[in-house]
Amino acid sequence: MKHSFKATWVLLLLFLLAQFMGIAVLQQYVDVSQSKEEGRVVFGELPVGERPPIEENTSYVTVMVAILLGTGLAFLLMRYRLIWLWRAWFFIALLITILVSLGAFLPVWLAFLVSFVFTTWRIWKPNFLVQTGTELFVYPGLAAIFVPLFSLSSISVLLVLIALYDAYAVWKSKHMITLAKSQAQAKIFAGLLVPYAEKEDKIVRKHDGKIRAGKKSTGIRTAVLGGGDIAFPLLFAGVVFKELGLWQSLVIPLFAAFGLGLLFWKAEEKKFYPAMPFISAGCFVGLLVVWILESIL
């Protein structure tokens, strides 16, 4: 197993919590009257303005290009040690996504105030609780922004492309590992971090002469789950919500978490693995199960 049993379960539970929070936020943005009138799910306006005018069936092209350009820009900032600019970029992204999440439930002015306070705290005084708390609101905000831009076919293509890119970036070029380490050093890591004590077997001889087996702590390790590994399955579940329905969307995170859990179980300690191939496979199995259930019910 890649991480301790406890750390693995914490990561999986946080992953599921982010997915279900995202679906809840999406529900809040549904324009009920407009949806009834058009006979399909229609999302209302965001507190940060209109969504980009992108064609649903080809939106995966725009998103993939944006991801590649964003990765390239991140490496340039890292190469020239422009950490202040990287932090400013990260600050704006956090502020917008958290604002969108909170704006689904709070007045815009209050959502902005809370978002600004916690984003500032996250950037300048990060700790486990503020890192985890803000991350859980980032991905629902992303979902509210991007889910309306996809069809089920385009998000499926994107999931396949991301899985292939993740595998290449971790196993072949390894640039994703370099980027993740640089983010962690700059304290602007996008994702979940769960610290835990690393232990190893220890044999102890007691005063009575008997030998006892035990554990001893050898330091602190961190279980990591990248932001993309949370965001992309949530986008997929969100599009399922938009096109198929609520209960159908709730099935997807369960199978995505199963795929992620399988990776954690099979992976070796202190080695890097791409999570998206496993998560994407879980999403597609979940969609297949949804179709089967729909045909039965």
For 37-87, write each residue's pLDDT tens digit: 999 999 999 999 888 888 999 999 999 999 999 999 988 888 888 888 888
Look at residues 242, 280, 265 and name the one whose alpha carbon lies nearest to residue 2. Answer: 265
Look at residues 74, 268, 264 and name the one whose alpha carbon lies nearest to residue 169. Answer: 74
Do the Cβ atoms of 140 and 27 come closer than 8 Å?
A: no
Look at residues 284, 268, 239 and name the one whose alpha carbon lies nearest to residue 40. Answer: 239
Look at residues 139, 105, 116, 114 and name the one whose alpha carbon lies nearest to residue 18. Answer: 139
Mean pLDDT of 228-236: 97
Do the Cβ atoms of 140 and 18 come closer than 8 Å?
A: yes
Does the pLDDT of residue 218 top 70, yes or no? no
Higher pLDDT, 218 or 142: 142
pLDDT of 281: 97
Does the pLDDT of residue 233 top 70, yes or no? yes
Mean pLDDT of 25-48: 94
pLDDT of 265: 93
pLDDT of 165: 95
The secondary structure of the chain in percent helix, strand, coil, rounded to multiples of 5, reads: 70, 10, 20
Token output for 200: 């190893």
Higher pLDDT, 215 or 131: 131
pLDDT of 268: 86
pLDDT of 207: 56
For residue 283, give Cα distances in angstroms to 160, 163, 211, 277: 11, 12, 48, 10
Average pLDDT value over all residues in the chain: 90
pLDDT of 271: 84
pLDDT of 267: 83
Higher pLDDT, 84 or 26: 26
Q: Which of 98-107, 171-180, 194-203 has the lowest mean pLDDT?
A: 194-203
* Strand, helix or coil for residue 281: helix
pLDDT band at 214 (very low <50, low <70, confident <90, very high): low
Look at residues 127, 161, 138, 55 and name the one whose alpha carbon lies nearest to residue 90. Answer: 138
pLDDT band at 206 (very low <50, low <70, confident <90, very high): low
pLDDT of 190: 86
pLDDT of 203: 55
- Region for 187 from its dihedrals, namely left if φ exceeds 0, alpha if ψ lies in -120 to 50, beta otherwise: left
Does the pLDDT of residue 209 top 90, yes or no? no
Mean pLDDT of 16-20: 97
